[in-house]
Structure 1
Amino acid sequence: MRVKPVQKFNPQDAGADNKFYAQAVATGKIDLKRLAYLVSNQSSVREGDCYAVILSMVHNIMDELKQGKIVKLDRLGSFQLSVSSDGVATKEQVTGNIVKDIRINFRPDADMKGTLNTKTVKFTISDSLI
């Protein structure tokens, strides 16, 4: 994993000196087709079948989230929707109309947390500005 130094100020102390922090640098993207290809090469299932199953899973995850369910994918983690809204004076005024935004929260499973940590990921410094 690549990291780059980024200088930041302390918003709680405007007079404090800026400090440098490590920031993760993306090295690319992977899409569902590539994941399907990788899965198919690690199993006896054809690439097209893997792709179709992954697409179906994504569709069903979205449908279940819309119904307010927490979607738990063992060894990966859980997805859950959260909302932000305007404040109102009484509980009777709370309706779907005051919702301003929806976010998808992801909580990694213990297996993922245990596998991806500072002891298992090697870091290198990136000269890239990206």
Structure 2
Amino acid sequence: MSVKYKVLPRKNPQDLLAPEKFYAAAIADGETDLDKLAEQISYQCTVTESDCYAVLLSLERNIISELEQGRIVKLGRLGNFQIGVSSEGRDTAEEVTSGAITKTRILFRPGKRLRSLLNDLSFRKAS
């Protein structure tokens, strides 16, 4: 199994006059959606494709609901989801309000098996 990459030029944001350097960037080789995952899972167990799809949709809805309540969603060996924020710095703690928040994101921390996938990858340059 190998992941494709392409080479991209990038400027140094701290020195825009410096010459560009070239970096590898992973590129996707297709995509898989919930329909495809439900089909694949149904072939690996006795649950029907439509049942798998219903469970995956329910999982998505419940992850969203729990994140909206500020909870960490732990999915066992798969990993954890959590809300993260960035904010502007203020001189005192009292000055930090929700208005200082500049960016929100969903953090995913993969479990051990997903993390170990990164150790076993090989790469090939896209043509």
Aligned equivalent of 1:53: 55
SS at match of 1:82: strand
RMSD of aligned alpha carbons: 2.1
- Structure 2 counterpart of 1:125, which letter? K
Give the gaps of 5 or more residues in structure 1.
none
Using the TM superposition, give the Cα deviation of residue 97 of structure 1 relative to its aligned residue in structure 2, in angstroms.
4.1
Query: 2:32 is matched with which residue: 25, 30, 33?
Result: 30
Structure 2 length-normalised TM: 0.83
CA distance in 2, matches of 1:96, 1:4: 40
CA distance in 2, matches of 1:76, 1:17: 42
Query: 1:72 is matched with which residue: 67, 71, 74?
Result: 74
Query: Which segment is superposed worse, 90-99 or 71-80?
Result: 90-99
Per the alignment, do residues 27 and 98 of structure 1 end up closer, same or farther by CA in structure 2, a change over 3 Å counting? Answer: same
Query: Which segment is superposed worse, 101-110 or 53-62?
Result: 101-110
Aligned equivalent of 2:42: 40
CA distance in 2, matches of 1:38, 1:17: 47
Using the TM superposition, give the Cα deviation of residue 125 of structure 1 relative to its aligned residue in structure 2, in angstroms.
0.9
Q: How many residues align?
A: 125
SS at match of 1:44: coil
Using the TM superposition, give the Cα deviation of residue 81 of structure 1 relative to its aligned residue in structure 2, in angstroms.
0.3
Per the alignment, do residues 58 and 95 of structure 1 end up closer, same or farther by CA in structure 2, a change over 3 Å counting? Answer: same
Using the TM superposition, give the Cα deviation of residue 26 of structure 1 relative to its aligned residue in structure 2, in angstroms.
0.8
CA distance in 1, matches of 2:37, 2:24: 29
Structure 1 length-normalised TM: 0.81
Per the alignment, do residues 91 and 12 of structure 1 end up closer, same or farther by CA in structure 2, a change over 3 Å counting? Answer: closer
CA distance in 2, matches of 1:57, 1:25: 28
* Identical counterparts, % of pairs: 47
Give the gaps of 5 or more residues in structure 2.
none
- Structure 1 counterpart of 2:53, which letter? Y
Per the alignment, do residues 99 and 10 of structure 1 end up closer, same or farther by CA in structure 2, a change over 3 Å counting? Answer: closer
